[in-house]
Amino acid sequence: MTQAQPTHTTHTAGRVRVLTGAKPTADLHVGNYFGAIKPAVEASLDPAKEMILMCADWHGLTDRAKILEPGKHTAGLLASYLAMGFSLEKNMIILQSEIPEIPEIAWYLSCVSAIGLLERAHAYKDALQSGKEPTAGLFNYPILMAADIVTFDAQIVPVGKDQLQHLEYASDMVKLFNNAVGRPVLFEPKALVQETQLLIGIDGERKMSKSYGNHIPLFAAKKDIEKRIKEVKTDSKGLDDPKDPETCAVWQILKSFGSKDAIDYMEDRLRKGTGYGYGHAKKDLMDEHERVFGSKRELYEHYLNSPREMAQLLAPSNSQARHIAATVRQRVRDALGLGIL
């Protein structure tokens, strides 16, 4: 059931506000580029969209044993998006932990959410099943995520199917809150469910993932990338055999970041086969990796080593985001009648 939406929002006329989150993790790889960075960079160039890209460092704290990790990888994550061309012109990149309105609004959402909702959350149930005792942070994760969304009046949140529950929760919490205060105050977001585009790893079998150790880094030293690409598993077809690109991990990986020309060229040469073996294909993959990412490696490292410059670059985003968050917070507080004025 669709409810009334608030009449006064912070939206920008003619643009749809899209919120995307990214957790800071070590060693970003081609799979991350394909699944998250590239779509965000492209969306940032779309004049119909107003992107808020949130580095969700608070979400990374929910495992007590790894509580110091997110802080170590935040700069790398931000530097990657900036180096790969995310446009700040009409969009924002923000650091979740710099927006205190989020946990405040999370508290309000927690006060309208029944405990059973959280007990049914996938991530929590998975943690229980794995025999670990989850932290309260993991348990409350869906609330913080809903707060991320509503704090910015987000209209669209792109999610994979496995994340859809979080958006349903956010919608539920919006309805519960608006009902509790008797009028539409929080904006109800829409999920944009995206087919999860899985990229094959260098083992040719599983999804590219750091935890499987089958990934190709984005910004490592050239020789390290070369080494990884040489390890991409292929079949035993010979130099002159026609080869099927669809079952060739080298081509699959190339497709995830290469130019149309590079992709078409390799496809053609593999199909024909003559004089084009997997060694050639790997060489071409390496060249394209160098062309796409190698050229940005310097910029990435520059940002990484100039946190002040990066902070300055992101300052307008932060200030715009804080303004939105403060406006929504005030709407919520007015509805609750908090304060003495």
CA distance 313 to 88: 9
* Footprint on residues 250-269 left by a copy of itself (CB under 8 A): none
Least CB distance to a copy of itself at residue 143 (A):
6
Q: DSSP secondary-structure letter at 17?
A: E
The verdict on 95 binding a copy of itself (CB under 8 A) reads: yes
Binds a copy of itself (CB under 8 A): choice among 1, 13, 48, 136: 136
Binding to a copy of itself (CB under 8 A) within 178-207 occurs at 180-181
- Using CB under 8 A, pick the residue from 42, 104, 168, 290 that binds a copy of itself: 104
Least distance in angstroms from the C-beta of 339 to a copy of itself: 7
Burial of 198 (0-12, 13-18, 19+ CB in 10 A): middle
In this structure, are residues 99 and 325 in contact, taking their beta carbons and an 8 Å threshold? yes
Contact between 98 and a copy of itself per CB under 8 A: yes
338 scored as a contact of a copy of itself (CB under 8 A):
yes
Fill in the amino acid letter for 320.
Answer: Q
Binding of residue 129 to a copy of itself (CB under 8 A):
no
Of positions 12, 26, 71, 264, contacts a copy of itself by CB under 8 A: 71
Query: Cα separation of 193 and 163, whole Å?
Result: 9
Q: Is 284 in the site for a copy of itself (CB under 8 A)?
A: no
Of the candidates 62, 67, 76, 91, which has an alpha carbon nearest to the alpha carbon of residue 22?
Answer: 76
Tokens of 264: 């078409």
User: How far from each other are the two terminal CA atoms of the chain, in whole angstroms?
Assistant: 35
Q: How far is the CB of 284 from a copy of itself (least distance, A)?
A: 36
- Determine, following the binding rule CB under 8 A, whether residue 113 of this chain makes contact with a copy of itself: yes
> What is the residue-wise DSSP string for 19-46?
EEEE---SS-BHHHIIIIIHHHHHHHT-
- How far is Cα 159 from Cα 259, in angstroms, rounded to an integer? 26
Q: Tell me the C-alpha distance between 228 and 33, whole Å.
A: 16
Closer residue to a copy of itself, CB minimum distance, 124 or 265:
124
Rg from Cα positions in the chain:
22
Our CA dihedral for 162, 165, 168, 172, rounded to 10 degrees, sits at: -160
Q: Could you tell me the smallest distance in angstroms from the CB atom of residue 115 to a copy of itself?
A: 5
Question: Checking phi first, is residue 183 left (phi over 0); if not, alpha (psi -120 to 50) or beta?
Answer: beta
Q: Which of 214, 228, 223 is nearest to 294 (CA)?
A: 223
Residue 97 touching a copy of itself (CB under 8 A): yes
User: Which of these segments, 91-99, 160-168, 192-200, 260-268, binds a copy of itself (CB under 8 A)?
Assistant: 91-99
Binding-site member from 22, 143, 199, 270 for a copy of itself (CB under 8 A): 143
Query: Contact between 176 and a copy of itself (CB under 8 A)?
Result: yes
Nearer of residues 133 and 195 to a copy of itself, judged by Cβ: 133
Of these, 307, 315, 316, 323, which contacts a copy of itself (CB under 8 A)? 307
Q: Compute the distance between CA of residue 340 and CA of residue 142 in angstroms, rounded to an integer.
A: 31
Determine, following the binding rule CB under 8 A, whether residue 112 of this chain makes contact with a copy of itself: yes
14 binds a copy of itself (CB under 8 A): no
Neighbours of 158 (CB within 10 A): 18
Q: Is 327 in the site for a copy of itself (CB under 8 A)?
A: no
Closest approach of a copy of itself to the CB of residue 114, in Å: 5
Distance CA 7, CA 325 (A): 17
Parallel, antiparallel or unpaired: strands 156-160 and 190-194 = parallel
139 binds a copy of itself (CB under 8 A): yes
Give yes or no for residue 337 binding a copy of itself (CB under 8 A).
Answer: yes
List residues near a copy of itself by CB under 8 A. Answer: 57-58, 61-62, 64-65, 67-68, 70-72, 74-75, 78, 95, 97-98, 100-101, 103-104, 106-118, 133-140, 143-144, 176, 180-181, 307-308, 310-311, 314, 333, 336-341
